[in-house]
Amino acid sequence: MPIQIGILGLGTVGTGVVRILQQNATDIQTRTHCEVKIKGILERDLQRARELSGDILITDQPAEILQDPEIDIIVEVMGGIEPARTFVLEALRNGKNVVTANKDLIALHGHELLDAANAAGKDLYFEASVGGGIPIIAAMKESLAANRITHVLGIINGTTNYILTAMAEQGREYAEVLAEAQQLGYAESDPSSDVDGLDAARKLAILSSIAFNSRVALKDVFVEGISKITREDLAYAAELGCTIKLLAIAKHQTEGIEVRVHPAILPLTHPLASVGGVFNAIYVVGDAVGETMFYGRGAGSLPTGSAIVSDIMRIARNIESNSTSAINCTCYLDLALKAVSDFYTAFYIRLLVKDEPRVLATLALLFAEANISFASIIQKPRDEHQAEIVLVTHPCREGALQEALDSVKAYSKVLNIHNVIRFENGDHGAKA
């Protein structure tokens, strides 16, 4: 008997799934030892769907897919929370396995859905929800399962990576490159989810839950976007032998786990520094395997479709071997979360000050009172009365840095604090 598939949605990703299943049908059958066929597709635009899918059943009635007893696997590529959540829960209750690419759904309701999958004895796979075509979830759940994962660092949003890459390489301003990204289709007309870091935060909640076997909710992730990054910041970073990336960072340390998404100054020697354009990469450190990196396209019809079809094939093998629900939820720990004030990193601080004697000495004193010292200082005159200063601190607590900045803001010789950016220096033995 063939393994029968029902697809919910035939947009960009759904079309990629259909194309891969049809074009690679012979290879898929050889590798899974069973025939995998699309039985039906749920889609509102019936005419367009029929043009794309040939003689496959096309319907705008969910029950025709979700209640079909011959369908073994439901593929949810609708996006959004509802009705996707309701449809996935119904599919599981009806004894169907589920594959989804829906990061919002997994980040916000993953616990509920995984519990439902376990109760039904069915698989719920979501490889495509984080890295598009990058096989990171299966790698962490299976290939790296022997490790205690200590660090996950990721460039997991192609829109922001495209913007920061173009700004760094071409010396352009944020607004100009964002407009270009929108014209090219790399950014939405409302880009806030990407540029404010929310898309990456949802993905990091999923990744860190799997990496550390402890549930991390979206609300637990500290988030800061890229809209304050300027070409001047990127030029100073280059002067320091670094670049700036929007990083998703998760660390398992003695005091607990920290999860944060923000622009980070990264040494050019770090493997993630060379990841440019719309590409994504995820850097994982395990206690046994050491450093590993997964690189590829984080979005798109065929890359995302590749991850979905791989999940379909994995479930097909499980069905054939009667081993579904063997690897669903892996969150068996309840680890503490570090407070933002206890994050520990070096900082870049760009200030505009009055160009007068003792200003730098006073700034050094204000930071010293918070037990913070400087690793380097760059000072450049802006005119005869003003100077721009870039302070690079030694690693310190975030809470101490904020205390120092409160004092700096009150200092009359400081005209503006242009930006404050965290470093990520790749020191995996960093203080907890």
Q: Which two tokens stand for residue 329?
A: 């939820």
Residue 103 appears among annotated catalytic residues: no
Helix (H) or strand (E) holding 250: strand 242-253
d(CA 147, CA 289): 7
Residue 33 region by backbone torsions, left for phi larger than 0, else alpha for psi between -120 and 50, else beta: left
- Each as own residue / partner, the long-range contacts of residues 35-39 (CB below 8 Å, 24 or more positions apart, any chain) are 35/2, 35/3, 36/2, 36/3, 36/5, 36/312, 36/313, 36/316, 37/2, 37/3, 37/4, 37/5, 38/4, 38/5, 38/6, 38/7, 39/4, 39/5, 39/6, 39/68, 39/70, 39/71
What does residue 410 show for φ and ψ, rounded to 5 degrees? Answer: -85, -10
Contact 352, 416 (CB under 8 A): yes
Prior bond of 62 cis (ω within 30°)? no
Largest CA distance in the chain: 84
Closest CA to 14 of 312, 253, 390: 312
Nearest-angstrom CA–CA distance, 354 and 26: 71
Decide if 250 contacts 208 (C-beta within 8 A).
Answer: yes
DSSP letter assigned to residue 337: B
Distance, CA of 60 to CA of 44 (rounded, Å): 5
DSSP conformation class of 143:
I
Q: Which of 39, 96, 122, 203 is catalytic?
A: 203
Q: Which residues are catalytic?
A: 203
